[in-house]
Amino acid sequence: MELGEKTVRKNYVFRGKIINVRRDDAMLPNGNACTREVVEHPGGACVLAVTEESVILVKQFRYAYGEELWEIPAGKLNAGEDPMRAALRELEEETGYCADSLELIFTIYPTPGYSDEKIYIYEAKEVAKGSAHPDEDEFLDVVRVPLEEAYAMVQDGRIKDGKTIIALQYRQLRG
């Protein structure tokens, strides 16, 4: 079956700092007209960084949920930025840890229903301690959590962030 939908006209309804929003006129595979709401996002990069059998997590208030969430270090891409460079930058800025190199382990699509965001998940090699220098106006706690404890936090729901669950389950599966 041909499943594709065609864009008839892109209509921007909001242009923000983080996201743009469109309500497009589109055409279904059967030729029927429809509208499609789309959030444009530049994409994000994050890092699974393990040192001495502990994973580096950040605890951060997330305004949209009104909650503090546990996440692996992450940030959005600047325009045109290489995701690996962004991942290295966020790891160092947010946590003060640095890595010799990163390996891309996943490119995930977190919200296929309405957003074009892609999240690049890297695994850090040779993690070492430096010094954190978060953005002014960035507030977070950095914690080293033993892997077994982190796996338990995924299972009991204390870790809720999708990219963090994927990275930790990946690590657990590899053993």
Report in angstroms how near the CB of residue 98 gets to a copy of itself at its nearest: 23
Residue 65 vs 129, nearer CB to a copy of itself: 65
Residue of 71, 93, 136, 148 marked active site: 136
User: Residue from 8, 9, 19, 49 that binds a copy of itself (CB under 8 A)?
Assistant: 19
89 binds a copy of itself (CB under 8 A): no
- Crossing angle between the packed helical segments 147-155 and 162-174, to the nearest 10 degrees: 130
Query: Is 136 noted as a catalytic residue in this protein?
Result: yes
Q: How far apart are CA 18 and CA 21, in angstroms?
A: 10
In this chain, which of 47, 48, 71, 127 binds a copy of itself, going by CB under 8 A?
71
**Among 8, 21, 132, 143, which residue sits at the site for a copy of itself (rule: CB under 8 A)?**
21
Separation of alpha carbons 26 and 60, rounded Å: 38
> 33: which 2 tokens?
């007209």
Binders of a copy of itself among residues 121 to 160 (CB under 8 A) are 137, 139-141, 157, 160
How far is Cα 170 from Cα 48, in angstroms, rounded to an integer?
10
Q: Strands 67-71, 74-76: parallel, antiparallel or unpaired by DSSP?
A: unpaired
Q: Check: CB of residue 108 under 8 Å from CB of residue 155.
A: no
Cβ-based neighbour number of residue 88 at 10 Å: 20
| Distance in angstroms (rounded) separating the CA atoms of residues 44 and 75 | 6
Site string for a copy of itself, 24-63 (x = CB under 8 A): x-x-xxx-x-xxxxxx-x--x--------------xxxxx
Nearer to a copy of itself, 61 or 128 (CB): 61
Q: In what order do the strands lie in the sheet with 119-129?
A: 74-76, 44-48, 119-129
Would you name the residues annotated as active-site residues? Answer: 136
Enumerate binding residues for a copy of itself (CB under 8 A).
Answer: 1, 3-5, 13-14, 16-19, 21, 23-24, 26, 28-30, 32, 34-39, 41, 44, 59-65, 68-69, 71, 76, 106-117, 119, 137, 139-141, 157, 160-163, 165-166, 169-170, 172-173
